[in-house]
């Protein structure tokens, strides 16, 4: 789609030809200079996290005032209820707003293995590019950042990462573009005067105020900015010397390619902590065979972390209920190794395994060894013959009606 913040007749014509689906030819990477920032004043960037549907109205308020914002979105939540659709994001992009990345699943990056960090960041950017966007800017969920997370964001081709919160202003030429400082997120209790003070500080110091917004409502939670305060801020900004620019325009730089995401060497979401979607399946996992008598749920009392998974079969064939690593082309499905999982159960359990060949085909499920019922956490391990496999999917299944609680999958 090209630079999403560029305006002009030529761009408008090109966008009109592409339509509102967000699909367009992928741009050729090229140098993108920073927009002019007044030498005698500061700059403000208005940023919006998570791609919530109500942000469409915030974007309209910006557009009617000739302003552009940076919208950090989660690729897995596009089209989900309460979130912006791909067509809506395309409209934002066509109006001059910047579409940036925010991980696939709103993951706290410093807590993840490096393989999983790459999947969250590179995989998210790759998915956004496949939709026709050109994401150059990134925001860390929860403002959680460390040196390892910065390195992955840079490796995945982003030019910046919005990071630490609680600092009033950033330098227009940041010392560390992969940990941009921001004030605290603007929410239900933030006053107009407080927001104005952030901007005034940027003007006086000739610095950069990166304002962080989430939701847009009068009473929808602590991160919902009141619509009147938001529009009052925009009207007040129009009369100020400070420039309003997207993060990508302030940072500038080349549009860099996304490196391929290699097959992971670990089990992604191994402790079943990360869930998204109405189906209640852990991210990077698949569930087969759920029914009125065969159910899966997440439960507290995990071996590590907050959550474990529980499979229950009251009647019928217990093999029908299978929670296993998602069978994909390598984004979730890892390379082979010695399998490990911790469990408690009321009946014996056994491993189940499927392998992927070089042409992408998955084998039929095969049974592994059986392990006895266990009232306390017990580790099950298995080293199957998978030398020729390009990827594997595995899990535990019940051998009889009953229940099992499972946690901490691993490859050894």
Query: What is the average per-residue pLDDT within 245-255?
Result: 96
Provide CB contacts within 8 A for 359, sequence distance 6+: none
Mean pLDDT computed over 125-136: 97
Strand ranges inside 314-365, DSSP E? 322-325, 339-345, 349-356
Residue 2 has pLDDT above 80, yes or no: no
DSSP string, 109-162: GGGS-HHHHHHHHHHHHHHHHHTT----EEE-GGG---HHHHHHHHHTT-SEEE
Burial 118-134 (b: 16+ CB within 10 A, else e): bbbbbbbbbbbbebbbb
- pLDDT (0 to 100) of residue 380: 98
Residue 397: partners with Cβ closer than 8 Å, 6 or more residues away: 311, 318, 319, 321, 322, 349, 350, 352
How confident is residue 40, by pLDDT bands cut at 50, 70 and 90?
Answer: low
CA neighbor of 212 nearest in space, from 297, 141, 285: 141
User: 9-254 adopts what CATH topology?
Assistant: TIM Barrel (3.20.20)
Query: What is the pTM assigned to this prediction?
Result: 0.81
- Residue 234: pLDDT above 60? yes
Judge whether residue 122 has pLDDT over 80. yes
Residue 38 has a pLDDT of 57
Give the mean pLDDT of the chain.
Answer: 89
**Which residue would you say has higher pLDDT here, 185 or 38?**
185
Contact assessment for residue 354 and residue 362, using Cβ atoms and an 8 Å cutoff: yes
SS3 307: coil
- Given this model, what pLDDT does residue 27 score? 36
C-alpha span between 19 and 3 (Å, rounded): 16
| Residue ranges of domains in the chain | 9-254, 285-411
Q: What is the pLDDT of residue 258?
A: 95
pLDDT band, very low/low/confident/very high, at 356 (cuts 50, 70, 90): very high
In the chain, what is the straight-line distance between the N-terminal and C-terminal CA atoms, in Å? Answer: 43
- The arrangement of secondary structure in 285-411, i.e. its CATH architecture, is Sandwich (2.60)
Of 328, 380, 381, 377, the closest CA to residue 356 belongs to 328
Q: What is the pLDDT of residues 174-218, one digit of tens each?
A: 999 999 999 999 999 999 999 999 999 999 999 999 999 999 999
- Residues 7-41 as b/e (b if ≥16 CB within 10 A, e otherwise) read eeeebeebbeebebebebeebeeeebeebebeeeb
**Region 94-118: what's the mean pLDDT?**
94
**Cβ-based neighbours of 354, under 8 Å, separated by 6 or more:** 324, 327, 362, 363, 364, 365, 366, 392, 393, 394
Q: What percent of the chain has pLDDT over 70?
A: 90
User: Residue ranges of the alpha helices (H) in 156-289?
Assistant: 192-205, 227-238, 247-251
Confidence tier at 335 by pLDDT (50, 70, 90): confident
Task: Give the integer Cα–Cα distance in Å for 35 and 32.
Answer: 9
pLDDT at 21 over 50: no
Mean pLDDT, rounded, for 137-156: 97
């Amino acid at each position: 789609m090209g630079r999403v913040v560029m305006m002009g007749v030529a761009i408008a014509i090109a966008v009109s030809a592409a339509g509102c689906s967000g699909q367009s030819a992928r741009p050729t990477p090229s140098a993108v200079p920073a927009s002019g920032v007044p030498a005698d004043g500061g700059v403000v960037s208005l940023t919006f996290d998570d791609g919530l549907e109500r942000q469409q109205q915030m974007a309209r308020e910006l557009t009617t005032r000739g302003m552009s914002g940076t919208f950090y979105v989660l690729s897995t939540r596009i089209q989900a209820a309460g979130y912006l659709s791909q067509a809506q994001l395309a409209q934002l992009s066509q109006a001059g707003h910047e579409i940036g990345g925010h991980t696939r699943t709103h993951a706290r990056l410093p807590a993840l293995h490096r393989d999983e960090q790459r999947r969250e960041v590179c995989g998210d950017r790759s998915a956004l590019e496949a939709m026709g966007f050109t994401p150059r800017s990134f925001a860390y969920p929860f403002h959680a950042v460390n040196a390892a997370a910065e390195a992955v964001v840079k490796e995945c081709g982003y030019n910046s990462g919005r990071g630490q919160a609680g600092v009033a202003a950033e330098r227009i030429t940041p010392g560390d573009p992969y940990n941009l400082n921001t004030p605290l997120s603007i929410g239900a209790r933030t006053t107009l005067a407080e927001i104005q003070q952030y901007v005034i500080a940027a003007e006086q110091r000739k610095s950069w105020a990166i304002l962080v917004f989430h939701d847009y409502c009068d009473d929808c939670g602590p991160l919902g900015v009141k619509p009147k305060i938001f529009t009052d801020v925009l009207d007040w900004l129009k009369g100020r010397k400070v420039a309003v620019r997207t993060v990508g325009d302030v940072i500038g730089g080349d549009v860099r390619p996304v490196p391929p995401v290699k097959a992971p060497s670990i089990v992604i979401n191994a402790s079943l902590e990360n869930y998204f979607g109405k189906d209640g399946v852990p991210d990077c996992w698949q569930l087969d065979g759920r029914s009125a008598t065969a159910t899966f749920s997440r439960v507290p009392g995990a071996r590590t972390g907050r959550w474990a998974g529980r499979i229950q079969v009251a009647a019928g064939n217990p093999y029908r209920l299978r929670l296993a690593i998602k069978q994909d082309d390598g984004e979730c499905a890892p390379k082979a190794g010695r399998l490990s999982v911790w469990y408690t159960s009321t009946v014996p359990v056994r491993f189940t395994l499927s392998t992927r060949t070089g042409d992408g085909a998955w084998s039929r499920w095969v049974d592994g060894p059986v392990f006895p019922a266990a009232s306390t956490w017990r580790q099950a391990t298995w080293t199957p013959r998978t030398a020729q496999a390009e990827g594997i999917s595995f899990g535990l299944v019940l051998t009889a009606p009953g229940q099992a609680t499972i946690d901490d999958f691993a490859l050894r």
